[in-house]
Amino acid sequence: MITDSGQKASHKMSWVGDPSKKRGNFAVFPTISPKPGKEMSRSPKDWIEQTPQQAKQRNELINVNSRRKAEKLAAGSWKKGSEKKIAMAEYRANKTKRK
């Protein structure tokens, strides 16, 4: 998948929870999943949008107890090396834009 910023991405993550609270029940999940039998495909037509409930059924839901941790995980804090640096720089830039 190609992101809005033009980078290649293998995961598109999101988070759920009460955005008005800093602490509580939050979860992070991949918003795309492969169609059955297409797990190794790189073609966008072989992937579908996924809800939090579907991610939970597939054991792909990560539970966390803070909004900040959920936001950072969804933004890419789980990545390594330069990809993590880029993801966290984008996270900080987007966070500044929202204020």
Mean pLDDT of the chain: 87
96 or 35, which is more confident: 35
pTM over 0.75: yes
Question: What is the three-state SS of 79-91?
Answer: CCHHHHHHHHHHH
Whole-number pLDDT of residue 48: 87
| pLDDT 10s digits, 19-37 | 999 999 999 999 988 898 9
Residue 42 has pLDDT above 90, yes or no: no
Residue 76: closest CA among 67, 68, 86, 66 = 86
